C-alpha cells in the first residue's frame, strides 16, 4: 500500500499525544492531531469532519487521549470514532473495546466475570448499604465511576459519621456509589504494559509519604520493576478480556495475593518512559504500520 495517512486522537499539550504525532510525521510525512472537541459528525452528508479534513479519508487513527478528564461525554466521542471504524478507518485501539472499560463499573464487572482477582467491591445506590459495606470492610475507598489518578476518591473508616459522609458524597453527583475495600499498599503499585498483546515492561508507582495513593497527581514517582512470570500472566489474562492494542494493567501485590485495580486504554506511556526510557511512541507507531501492512 501507499504511505498511510495516520491521525492521532488526543489534545494539544499532552506529551504522549505530541510524541505520537511527531513520530507519525517522521515515519509517514503526514501529521494530524485530532482534538475531538472540534470533530463534527454530519449524518446527513455521511461525513466526520475535523476542520476541513474528512477523517474518513485517513487510513488509521491512534487513540491516545479521548479527553482531558473521564466523563460520560466521552462515550459520544467514542461512538463517533466507532462510526469512522465502520467506514473503514482502522482505529488503535478499537472504540467499541475502549467503551467497555471507560467507566470504572464496566471495567470492574468484566474483570470479575473473567476470574481476575480484584479487591472486595460493592456497588449500590443505597447510602445505608454503602455505609454497611464500609463498616464491614473497616477501611474503604469511594471511587467515582468516571475518574483517573484518584481524582474525586474518598477514603472512609468504619465508625460513626459514615452515613453522613456517604450522603454528602452522593449529593455531590455520585448517584451510583462504588465502594472498594482499601488494600494496604506496600508503598507502591504496578503498571504492567502490553502492545498487541505482547508484554513490554513493568513500572512501579511509588507513593509520596503524605498520600494514601501512589498516583503522580498525588506526588508519586515511577521506578523500574521486574515482576514474576505469574504476575505477567495474570496481567496478560486481564488485558486479554478487552483486546486493546496498547494497554496497561494496574495491580498491587498484597499478602493475600495480587489484586487488579483496572485495565487502562490510555495509561502507561509516561511510566514506561520515565522508568525504562522506552520510546513508546516509536514502538506504537511501528506496530500500527505493521498492522496496516497486513
pLDDT category at 105 given cuts 50, 70, 90 is: very high
- Look at residues 213, 162, 168, 183 and name the one whose alpha carbon lies nearest to residue 119: 183
Question: Above 60 in pLDDT, residue 74?
Answer: yes
4-41 confidence digits (pLDDT tens): 999 999 989 999 999 999 999 999 999 999 999 999 99
The pLDDT value recorded for residue 4 is: 96
- Look at residue 210 and tell me whether its pLDDT is greater than 60: no
**CA–CA separation, 19 and 53 (whole Å):** 21
| 286, pLDDT greater than 60 | yes
Positive or negative, the CA dihedral 95, 99, 102, 106 is: negative
Phi, psi of 241 (to 5 degrees): -65, -25
pLDDT tens digit sequence for 230-256: 999 999 999 999 999 999 999 999 999
Category of 46 on φ-ψ map: left (φ > 0), alpha (ψ -120 to 50) or beta: left
Kindly report the average pLDDT of the chain as a whole number. Answer: 92
In DSSP notation, 106-120 reads HHHHHHHHTT-----
- For residue 223, the model assigns a pLDDT of 94
pLDDT at residue 214, as a whole number: 58
Q: Are 94 and 81 in contact (CB under 8 A)?
A: no
Please confirm whether the linkage preceding 93 is cis (ω < 30° from 0): yes
Higher pLDDT, 79 or 71: 79
Identify the CA nearest to 154 among candidates 164, 144, 163, 167: 144
What order of strands is seen across the sheet that includes strand 198-206?
221-225, 198-206, 188-195, 246-254, 257-264
Q: Domains of the chain, with CATH numbers?
A: 6-101 (3.40.50.20), 121-181 (3.30.1490.20), 184-278 (3.30.470.20)
pLDDT at 216: 62
Amino acid at each position: 500500500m501507499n504511505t498511510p495517512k495516520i491521525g492521532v486522537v488526543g489534545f494539544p499539550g499532552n506529551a504522549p499525544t505530541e510524541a505520537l504525532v511527531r513520530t507519525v510525521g517522521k515515519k509517514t510525512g503526514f501529521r494530524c492531531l485530532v482534538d475531538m472537541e472540534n470533530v463534527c459528525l454530519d449524518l446527513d452528508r455521511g461525513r466526520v469532519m475535523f476542520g476541513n479534513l474528512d477523517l474518513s479519508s485517513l487510513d488509521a487513527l491512534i487513540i491516545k487521549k479521548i479527553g482531558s478528564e473521564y466523563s460520560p461525554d466521552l462515550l459520544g466521542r467514542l461512538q463517533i470514532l466507532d462510526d469512522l471504524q465502520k467506514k473503514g478507518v482502522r482505529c488503535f485501539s478499537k472504540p467499541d473495546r475502549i467503551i467497555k472499560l471507560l467507566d470504572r463499573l464496566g471495567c470492574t464487572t468484566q474483570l470479575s466475570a473473567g476470574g481476575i482477582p480484584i479487591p472486595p467491591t460493592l456497588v449500590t445506590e443505597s447510602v445505608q448499604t454503602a455505609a454497611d459495606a464500609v463498616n464491614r470492610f473497616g477501611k474503604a475507598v469511594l471511587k467515582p465511576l468516571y475518574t483517573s489518578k484518584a481524582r474525586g476518591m474518598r477514603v472512609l473508616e468504619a465508625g460513626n459519621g459514615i452515613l453522613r459522609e456517604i450522603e454528602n458524597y452522593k449529593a455531590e453527583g455520585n448517584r451510583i456509589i462504588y465502594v472498594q475495600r482499601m488494600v494496604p499498599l506496600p508503598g507502591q503499585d504496578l503498571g504492567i504494559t502490553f502492545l498487541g498483546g505482547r508484554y513490554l515492561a513493568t513500572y512501579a508507582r511509588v507513593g509520596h509519604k503524605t498520600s494514601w495513593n501512589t498516583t503522580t497527581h498525588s506526588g508519586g514517582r515511577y521506578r523500574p520493576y521486574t515482576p514474576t512470570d505469574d504476575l505477567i500472566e495474570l496481567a496478560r489474562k486481564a488485558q486479554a478480556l478487552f483486546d486493546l492494542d496498547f494497554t496497561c494493567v494496574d495491580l498491587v501485590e498484597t499478602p493475600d495475593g495480587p489484586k487488579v485495580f483496572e485495565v487502562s486504554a490510555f495509561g502507561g506511556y509516561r511510566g514506561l518512559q520515565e522508568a525504562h526510557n522506552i520510546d513508546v511512541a516509536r514502538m506504537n507507531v511501528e506496530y500500527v504500520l505493521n498492522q496496516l501492512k497486513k
